[in-house]
């Protein structure tokens, strides 16, 4: 591992198991003797995975009862990213640690850009203004795909009932289809590795272990190529 640390991102639509996979990979790296921390964007229910400011912004972002336009969503996400970059990600990378994140700005490209119609270059410009070139280009990124709306809805329903509707999880199937397509298209356009949660040929729902093994293969290959 280089002294500059490694910034690793796992992306994908809601219900793809990003946080589970990031947490498992982080723990595995720690067991193997590597300094590693986990981040959840735009915040987390676990205070160790974000900051109080980011967690407060997350509550606003996820509260579907607060009606707002896509530009406000972009502003809220950008503020949370600046906080996480400055307070969590950049300091850990400077110490040579692995920083593994569930989501980064690709979520905004998918949701606010191709889902809600914001200009993609505008998203990129504002994100870079609020973060850093290093944030914009993770060392490794993997996108988890789940092109099965019934399975996605089933996974989200398994989390239990929320006090308020989730801003994005509660949107209809047309919006979810846009986001699913956006992630696949973005992966192709940016040359990012994808891992399907459901085998497209057999319809088999891959286990957490199977997906984790595929993620390890991608990330290990990236490390070895340095």
Whether the per-residue pLDDT at 162 is higher than 60: the answer is no
Asked, for residue 219, whether it belongs to a domain, the answer is yes
* pLDDT given at position 122: 98
> What is the crossing angle of helices 70-84 and 120-130, to 10°?
30
Q: Does 146 or 76 have the greater pLDDT score?
A: 76
Asked, for residue 119, whether it belongs to a domain, the answer is yes
Please give the share of the chain, as a percent, with pLDDT higher than 90: 72
Asked, for residue 83, whether it belongs to a domain, the answer is yes
Whether the per-residue pLDDT at 97 is higher than 80: the answer is yes
Asked, for residue 211, whether it belongs to a domain, the answer is yes
Q: Does 172 or 153 have the greater pLDDT score?
A: 172
Indicate which CATH number applies to the domain containing 103.
3.40.50.300
pLDDT digits (tens, 9 = 90+) for 15-30: 899 999 999 999 999 9
Asked, for residue 1, whether it belongs to a domain, the answer is no
Q: Does residue 42 have a cis bond before it (omega within 30 degrees)? A: yes
Q: Does 177 or 187 have the greater pLDDT score?
A: 187
Asked, for residue 63, whether it belongs to a domain, the answer is yes
Give Cα separations from 92 to 7, 10, 61, 99 (angstroms).
9, 18, 26, 7
Q: How high is the mean pLDDT of the chain? A: 90
Q: Quote the number of domains for the chain.
A: 1
Asked, for residue 55, whether it belongs to a domain, the answer is yes
* pLDDT given at position 152: 64
Angle, CA of 148, 72 and 23, to the nearest 5°: 50
Whether the per-residue pLDDT at 202 is higher than 90: the answer is no
Burial (CB < 10 A; 0-12, 13-18, 19+), residue 137, is exposed
Asked, for residue 186, whether it belongs to a domain, the answer is yes
pLDDT band at 1 (very low <50, low <70, confident <90, very high): very low
Q: Which domain holds residue 210?
A: 6-224
CB contact at 8 A, 144 and 197: yes
SS3 214: helix
């Amino acid at each position: 591992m280089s002294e500059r640390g490694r910034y690793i991102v796992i992306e994908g639509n809601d219900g793809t198991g990003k946080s589970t996979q990031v947490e498992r990979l982080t723990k595995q790296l720690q067991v193997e003797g590597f300094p590693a921390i986990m981040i959840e964007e735009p915040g987390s229910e676990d205070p160790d995975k974000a900051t109080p400011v980011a967690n407060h912004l997350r509550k606003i972002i996820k509260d579907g009862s607060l009606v707002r336009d896509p530009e406000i969503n972009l502003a809220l996400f950008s503020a949370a990213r600046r906080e996480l970059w400055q307070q969590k990600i950049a300091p850990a990378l400077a110490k040579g640690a692995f920083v593994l994140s569930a989501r980064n700005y690709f979520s905004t490209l998918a949701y606010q850009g191709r889902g809600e119609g914001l200009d993609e270059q505008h998203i990129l410009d504002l994100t870079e203004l609020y973060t850093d070139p290093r944030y914009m280009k993770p060392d490794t990124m993997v996108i988890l795909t789940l092109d099965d709306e019934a399975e996605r809805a089933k996974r989200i329903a398994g989390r239990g009932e929320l006090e308020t509707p989730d801003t994005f999880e509660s949107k209809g199937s047309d919006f979810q289809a846009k986001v699913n397509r956006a992630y696949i298209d973005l992966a192709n356009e940016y040359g990012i590795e994808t891992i399907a949660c459901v085998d497209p040929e057999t319809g088999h729902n891959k286990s957490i272990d199977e997906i984790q093994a595929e993620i390890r293969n991608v990330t290990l290959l990236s490390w070895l190529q340095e």
